[in-house]
Amino acid sequence: MITIPLRILLVEDVKTDAELIIWHINKIVEFPHVKVVDDLEDFELALQSFVPDVVISDYNLPTSSGIEIFESARSTDDSIPFIFLTGTIEDEVLASNTFLAGASGFILKKHMDNLDAKLGPLLKQIVFNMVGRTEIREKVRQNKIAVNQIYNYLDNLNVDTEEQRENIIQIRKNIENIKSDAGKVKGRNKGASQGD
């Protein structure tokens, strides 16, 4: 059993499936914090405020596709592990394409009876990759939430002059530059550790 707290963002539109998935997660993770959303808009809001350790998403949703959810996650944070869970796709080519796109896993809902056996190894690998970075991970999560709050504040700020508008644009550019620089450092550190 995974004993560290794990924040899981579950994208599932069928309530009974969501409940069953959470039941299986509770068999794998001692302290899961699961947030369930059922569309792209709520998913994007949850990415900003919840900042998950892993995303588990149905592939076919009424208002969007799993690929749209996946692309949204990647555009927000390309390091978030992402697992597809679906009942309608049994195409091995499509499954392999999701791995090529960067997904961490792909599970068919026909395996729901023993989902914990299929999902457990994927979550354990994610946790293994997180171990030793718990403190850093929490600081990064808090920083992401703070940046998102700043963006929301800027979006809701009433500006009266052109100078104020330009200052807000400059603040946004500075934040993006900081995020870009942090991503470059992360990429260099990742490359250096892989070369060891």
Return the percentage of the chain with pLDDT > 90, whole number. 35
Average of per-residue pLDDT across 152-169: 76
- Side chain identity, residue 55: V
Per-residue pLDDT, 189: 47
- For tokens 């699961």, the residue is 34
Check whether 96 has a pLDDT greater than 90.
no
Among the four given CATH numbers 3.40.640.10, 3.90.245.10, 3.40.50.300, 3.40.50.2300, the one describing domain 6-130? 3.40.50.2300
* Residue 41 predicted with pLDDT over 90: yes
- For the full predicted model, state whether its pTM sits above 0.85: no
Mean pLDDT, range 18-39, rounded to an integer = 96
129-157 average pLDDT score: 72
Q: What pLDDT band is residue 196 in, cutting at 50, 70 and 90?
A: very low
Residue 99 has pLDDT above 80, yes or no: no
Label residue 157 exposed, middle or buried (CB < 10 Å: 0-12, 13-18, 19+).
exposed
